[in-house]
Amino acid sequence: MRLSLLSDLNAERSARRAAVLVTDVASGEQRLVREAEVEGDPLAQELQGALRRGKSGLIDQDGRQFFLTVQAPPVRVVVIGAVHISQALAPMAKGLDLDVTIIDPRTAFATPERFPDVPVLAEWPDAVLPEIGIDRYTAVVALTHDPKIDDPALIAALRSECFYIGALGSRKTHERRVQRLTEAGFGEADFARIHAPIGLDIGAVSPAEIAVSILAEIVASLRKERRRTA
Query: Which pLDDT tens digit goes with each residue over 154-213?
Result: 999 999 999 999 999 999 999 999 999 999 999 999 999 999 999 999 999 999 999 999
For residues 164 and 109, membership in a common domain is answered with yes
Which of 37, 56, 71 is the last residue in one of the domains?
Answer: 71
Give the count of domains, the chain.
2
DSSP-derived letter for residue 199 is: S
68 beta partners: 22, 57
Q: Same domain, yes or no, for 142 and 220?
A: yes
Domain boundary among 30, 53, 71: 71
H/E run at residue 34:
strand 30-34
Q: What is the pLDDT of residue 53?
A: 77
- Split at pLDDT 50, 70, 90, the class of 230 is very low
104 and 179 in a single domain? The answer is yes
Judged by average pLDDT, the poorest of 147-151, 192-196, 205-209, 225-229 is: 225-229
Dist. CA 157–CA 133, nearest whole Å: 10
- Identify the pLDDT of residue 228: 57
Percentage of the chain with pLDDT > 90?
Answer: 77
- Buried b or exposed e, range 27-43, using 16+ CB within 10 angstroms: eeeeebbbbeebeebeb
| Residue 124 and residue 18 in one domain | no
Q: Are residues 91 and 14 in the same domain?
A: no
**Which domain does 38 fall in, by range?**
3-71
Question: Do 56 and 102 sit in the same domain of this protein?
Answer: no
Q: Which pLDDT does position 227 carry in this prediction?
A: 57
Residue 44 shares a structural domain with residue 157: no
Mean predicted confidence (pLDDT) in 108-126: 96
User: Do residues 122 and 106 both lie within one domain?
Assistant: yes
Amino acid at 111: T
Q: How many CB atoms lie within 10 A of CB 138?
A: 24
Same domain for 83 and 48?
Answer: no
Q: For residue 112, with 0-12 CB atoms within 10 Å meaning exposed, 13-18 middle and 19 or more buried, which class applies? A: exposed
Q: Do 64 and 86 fall within a single domain?
A: no
What backbone phi and psi angles, to 5 degrees, belong to 51?
A: -70, -40
Average pLDDT, stretch 88-107?
96
Instruction: Give the residue from 24, 39, 71 where a domain finishes.
Output: 71
- Read off the pLDDT of each residue in 98-125 and give the average, rounded to a whole number: 96
